[in-house]
Chain A
């Protein structure tokens, strides 16, 4: 436990005491000396009180741990004094995830707790897209005089997180595929579900694929071909550089949205038999090689929700140069991997890196959460510059999904022309 420190809030009383005592002596007024004696009692008050040593346990419950975007849910936090001493002043500030906003009540509570006693408080939070992990609660305890204070952080006994994700039926993938069967329609016939063409029967064609209606009408044996469906190797790259930690007022920043979108697409693409990897730009270049399967899904989700690069708070120090990070990524990317970049596209460095990746043979597409606003000329300029970046990327043949986070990613992808099923 951190050491208690003195708040010195009673320090002024000693000055007043000495002043009153001196004045009493000069004016020869015993009554003022008595008032000064009372001042000495108050000056001694914080010194005879012992610093608080709180021993606390925190429990946190949420009314719905998988709410939909925009839906309110209630958080109830209980702080229990599990020590032997009375805590006369306990101020708790719950560790609300930075991307979430309180719409009713307050995540702050002040109370006094006897040994074994608990205090609960509730507040209502509006759900925002993405997975949100609660931080430890910050607790400030003071002695009864307020002269000693100790500040500490307490984790809930069980980790609290809400997952506000929606399922995405399709991913913005391009035609760069592997030989494995998947969901991306290839430009040749094979086994699949979508009609591709009919051709003359060849020996060895499956009897179920012969067009018997046509045979009955014309006597020609023809075979129906379906469009072959292939899987892809995809690496999801989340832009978590300081420039991406930008959001509209009272709204989550773009990194929170990008991570949420990546988490939704990981599930969709793995379910559609693609090989999926995860990377990012920011504090570091986190890397999960493309893979498949249930364990791989857990690893990918874990990386996206826990890796330091993707955390809710922006990096405080300097981060490595984007060219250096892109070089690291290129060195790790499998040759046949395509890349989906998640970025708000708020600077000119990343579009350059995207074009370079695309030119090196990795089909790149971009999903860009729009966090720009229109309040004032500054915000309008940022929005215009972003639109220009989107336009230039599209002109270079790179598909860009312009995602307004108020809508679900699924709805945006369905409305975006040229998005392939992945």
Chain B
């Protein structure tokens, strides 16, 4: 009888949610065809990397390594589709971090590793968050859109971190969808409540605030946070 080995790779449902949200954020920030094409090719490259790593783990070392290298090459090569002189520089600056972050995030959450990496999850979602910040900097999208994209990015990181943690604790074979749903729903609800609150203050309670007033509001929130932490 074969003894079953536990696989402690990231939990699949949360991993899927994390990657879908991260990709959704980048695509939603007024992405054009080049970004979509890059993401699609990167997805294909990741699939080849996944098959390669899985083959290596099954003992096909040479074939597996070759596939993984080819897949990584496809991911890097996909940037050629994105780097186009017809785009404004701001467009490149906005999307480049996200297009680096998504393959990092999806790569570490592939269900073929012994376990995922929290640091790479942070780097991946960090890249997506930079795309959000740069979109705000270049005023590419509206405030509400920006806030919702920020919430989705944080929820993507939360889901990715949970996928890695649950994988480490319980393994991929264990049933854990209820707690994954709980965490992701909780974070999304808090984020959406935050967006609703901010939107309310911005557009209903006070109609026209100066930047200085915003800064003071932000400092007040930080002081409130410090009080809670204390």
Residue of B133, B176, B225 with most chain A CB atoms under a 10 A cut-off: B133
Q: Is A420 an interface residue (CB 8 A)?
A: no
Interface set, chain B 178-217, CB cutoff 8 A to A: 178-183, 186-187, 190-191, 193-195, 197-198, 202, 209, 211, 214-215, 217
A40 touches B186 (CB 8 A): no
Q: Is A121 an interface residue (CB 8 A)?
A: yes
Interface set, chain A 96-113, CB cutoff 8 A to B: 101-106, 108-112
Q: Is B229 an interface residue (CB 8 A)?
A: yes
- Chain B 1-12 against A: per-residue CB contact (8 Å), 1 yes, 0 no? 111101000000
B190 touches A41 (CB 8 A): yes
Q: How large is the interface on B (under 10, 10 to 19, 20 to 34, 35 or more residues)?
A: 35 or more
A110 touches B182 (CB 8 A): no
Interface set, chain A 75-108, CB cutoff 8 A to B: 88-91, 93, 101-106, 108
Q: Which residues of B contact A24 (CB under 8 A)?
A: 136, 214
A110 touches B179 (CB 8 A): yes
Q: Is B97 an interface residue (CB 8 A)?
A: no
A44 touches B215 (CB 8 A): no
A16 touches B129 (CB 8 A): yes
- Chain B 106-125 against A: per-residue CB contact (8 Å), 1 yes, 0 no? 00000000000000001000
A42 touches B225 (CB 8 A): no
Q: How many residues of A contact B (CB 8 A)?
A: 57
B146 touches A91 (CB 8 A): no
Known A144-B183, A146-B162; contact A103-B178, beta-carbon cutoff 8 A: no
B215 touches A31 (CB 8 A): no
Interface set, chain A 57-91, CB cutoff 8 A to B: 70, 72, 88-91
- Chain B 156-181 against A: per-residue CB contact (8 Å), 1 yes, 0 no? 00100110011001110111101111
The distance in angstroms between the C-alpha atoms of A27 and B211, with both chains bound, is 11
B169 touches A33 (CB 8 A): no
A91 touches B183 (CB 8 A): no
Known A21-B218, A30-B214, A88-B182; contact A35-B4, beta-carbon cutoff 8 A: no
- Chain A 1-37 against B: per-residue CB contact (8 Å), 1 yes, 0 no? 0000000010011101010110111011111111111
The distance in angstroms between the C-alpha atoms of A23 and B222, with both chains bound, is 16
Q: Is B150 an interface residue (CB 8 A)?
A: yes
Known A37-B218, A103-B1, A144-B183; contact A13-B154, beta-carbon cutoff 8 A: yes
Q: Is A250 an interface residue (CB 8 A)?
A: yes
B169 touches A34 (CB 8 A): no
Q: Is B143 an interface residue (CB 8 A)?
A: yes
A34 touches B198 (CB 8 A): yes
Q: Is A419 an interface residue (CB 8 A)?
A: no
Q: Which residues of B contact A30 (CB under 8 A)?
A: 143, 209, 211, 214
Tell me the smallest distance from the CB of A151 to a CB of chain B, in Å. 10
B176 touches A103 (CB 8 A): no
Q: Which residues of B contact A34 (CB under 8 A)?
A: 143, 146-147, 198, 202, 214
Residue of A12, A42, A126 with most chain B CB atoms under a 10 A cut-off: A42
Q: Which residues of A contact B187 (CB under 8 A)?
A: 42, 45, 145
Known A29-B139, A38-B198, A91-B166; contact A44-B228, beta-carbon cutoff 8 A: yes
- Chain A 149-161 against B: per-residue CB contact (8 Å), 1 yes, 0 no? 0000000000000
Cross-chain pairs A/B with CB under 8 angstroms, 28 sampled: A9-B161, A13-B154, A16-B129, A28-B211, A30-B209, A30-B211, A31-B143, A32-B137, A33-B217, A34-B143, A34-B202, A35-B146, A35-B150, A38-B150, A39-B154, A40-B221, A40-B225, A41-B190, A41-B193, A41-B197, A89-B179, A103-B4, A106-B174, A108-B173, A109-B174, A144-B182, A144-B186, A146-B165
Closest 8 A-B residue pairs measured CB to CB?
A110-B176, A41-B194, A108-B174, A144-B186, A101-B3, A108-B170, A40-B221, A106-B173
Contact residues of B with A, CB < 8 Å? 1-4, 6, 122, 126, 129, 132-133, 136-137, 139, 143, 146-147, 150-151, 154, 158, 161-162, 165-166, 169-171, 173-176, 178-183, 186-187, 190-191, 193-195, 197-198, 202, 209, 211, 214-215, 217-218, 221-222, 224-225, 228-229
